[in-house]
Structure 1
Amino acid sequence: MELYQGEKIDSLKVEQKSYLLPISTRNLDAWVRLAIAKGVEDIQLLLNRPYLASYVFPYQLLFHGSSSLKHLALCDCILRQPPPDFDGFNNLRSLSLSYVTLDQIFMAHVFSNCLLLESLKIKNCHGLTHLNIVGDRLSDLKLSHCGGIEISAPNLVSLEFCGDFSSIISVTTSPRLARILADVERMRPAVHSCLASFPELETLHLQYRDGGYRLSQISSDITFRNLKQLSLNQWQSGTFDHNLDHLKSVRDLITAAPLLEEFVLTEYTSRFPDEIRYNVECSGSFTHDHLKRVKLQRFLGNWYELEFAIWIMKNAAKLEILVLTSGGSAYDVNLEKWIDVRDRRKYPSSWKQDMILLQEKLEQVKTNNARIIIEFMLKQN
Structure 2
Amino acid sequence: MDVLCSVLSQLPMEEAVKTSILSCQWKYIWCHQTSLNFNCKTIMPRVAWSTREAVRQEFIKRVNAVLRQRNGAGVEKMNIRFDLDDRHAADVDRWVNLAIASKTKVLTLELWLDSPAIVYRLRVSDPERMEPYNFPFQLFDECNGSHLRSLHLSTVSLKLPTNFKGFLNLKKLYLSGVSITDEDLGHFVSKCSVLEFLGVLFCTMLETLTIPHSANQLKHLQIRCCPLLHKVRLNYSLKMLVYKGPVTYFVSDRTSSLTDACINLLDVRTSLKHLFAELSGSTSCPKSVATKCRDLERSIPPRSSTCFLGLRHVKLEVTILVSSESGTDVLDLGHLLKAAPSMEKLELHMWMRRKHKPYCRDDGDLRILPAHPHSHLKLVHITGFYGHKDQLELADHILRNCVVLEEMKVDPRVAIEKLSTSEDEYEESRNLDGLRVASEFLHDADRHGALTVSLSLPRPKVTMIWI
TM-score, normalised to structure 2, is: 0.67
1:260-271 matches, within 5 Å, as 260-270=343-353
Distance 1:273-1:216 versus aligned 2 partners, 3 A rule:
closer
Q: 1:160 to 1:357 in 2, by over 3 A?
A: closer
Amino acid paired to 1:77? V
| Match of residue 320, structure 2, among 236, 241, 244 | 236
Equivalent position of 2:263 in the other structure: 182
Q: How many residues align?
A: 363
1:364 counterpart residue number = 444
Structure 2 counterpart SS, 1:375: coil
Q: Which protein has the bigger helix share?
A: 2
- Quick check: 1:44 aligned with 2:108? yes
CA distance in structure 2 between the partners assigned to 1:171 and 1:221 by the alignment: 21
Per-residue CA deviation, residues 227-266 of structure 1 (Å, 9 max, x unaligned), is 1000112221122544553x23311123211110111112
SS at match of 1:283: coil
- 119-128 or 258-267, larger mean C-alpha shift: 119-128
Q: Deviations over 1:210-236 (max 9, x none)?
A: 344x55413422331111000112221
Distance 1:306 1:7, change over 3 A: same
Query: Which residue of structure 2 aligns with residue 81 of structure 1?
Result: 160
Q: 1:236 to 1:15 in 2, by over 3 A?
A: farther
| AA at the equivalent of 2:316 | L
Larger radius of gyration: 2
Residue 127 of structure 2 is matched in structure 1 by none
Matches of 1:220 and 1:142 in 2, distance apart?
A: 33
| 1:316 CA drift (Å) | 1.6
Q: 1:358 to 1:147 in 2, by over 3 A?
A: closer
Distance 1:4 1:276, change over 3 A: farther
Query: 2:398 matched to which residue of 1?
Result: 312
* Structure with greater strand share of residues: 1
Percent of aligned pairs with the same amino acid: 22
The question of whether the paired residues in 2 share the 8 Å contact of 1:294 and 1:323 is answered with yes
Distance (whole Å) between structure 1 residues aligned to residue 317 and residue 403 of structure 2: 25
Deviations 1:64-123 (A, max 9, x none): 5222112112222111122x3333523211211122101244224324421112222223
CA contact (8 A) 1:327 1:341 kept: no
Residue aligning to 1:292? 378
Is the alpha carbon distance of 1:10 and 1:307 closer, same or farther for their aligned partners in structure 2, counting shifts above 3 Å? same
Query: Which is further off, 108-117 or 144-153?
Result: 144-153
Q: CA deviation at 1:306?
A: 1.7
Letter in structure 2 aligned against 1:205 = A
Output the CA distance in 1 between the equivalents of 2:73 and 2:171: 23
Distance 1:195 1:303 in 2: 28
User: Against the structure 1 CA distance between its residues 5 and 328, is the aligned structure 2 distance closer, same or farther, given a 3 Å change threshold?
Assistant: farther
Shift of 1:348: 4.1
**Cα distance in 2 between the residues matched to 1:194 and 1:271:** 27
Tell me what 1:126 maps to. 204
- Which whole-Å CA distance do the structure 2 matches of 1:244 and 1:109 have between them? 43
Partner secondary structure for residue 182 of structure 1: strand
Q: Secondary structure at the match of 2:152?
A: strand
The answer to whether the 8 Å contact 1:78/1:100 transfers is: yes
Q: Does the Cα contact within 8 Å between 2:386 and 2:434 map onto a contact in 1?
A: no
Note the C-alpha offset of 1:202: 0.6
Change in 2 beyond 3 A, CA 1:27/1:375: farther
Residue 137 of structure 1 aligns with which residue? 217
When the two chains are superposed, the root-mean-square deviation of aligned CA atoms in Å is 3.5
TM-aligned CA deviation for residue 302 of structure 1: 2.1
User: Is the CA contact 1:196–1:222 (under 8 Å) kept in the aligned structure 2?
Assistant: no
Query: Greater RCO between the two (CA within 8 Å, min separation 6)?
Result: 1
Contact 2:412 2:455 in 1 (8 A): yes
TM-superposed CA distance for 1:193, in Å, is 5.3
Q: Aligned in 2, Cα 1:210/1:59: closer, same or farther, shift over 3 Å?
A: same
What amino acid sits opposite 1:318 in the alignment?
Answer: V
Mapped to 1, the partners of 2:110 and 2:301 lie a distance apart of: 42
Are residues 1:171 and 2:257 paired?
no
* Equivalent AA in structure 2 for residue 373 of structure 1: V
* Alpha-carbon shift at residue 293 of structure 1 (Å): 1.2
Residues 283/350 of structure 1: CA separation in 2 closer, same or farther (3 Å cut): closer
The offset of 1:6, in angstroms, is: 7.4
Q: Which amino acid aligns with 1:281?
A: L
1:94 corresponds to: 172
Q: Which amino acid aligns with 2:454?
A: I
Q: What is the letter of the counterpart of residue 263 of structure 2?
A: A
5 Å matches for 1:325-364? 325-327=411-413, 345=424, 347-348=427-428, 352=432, 355-364=435-444
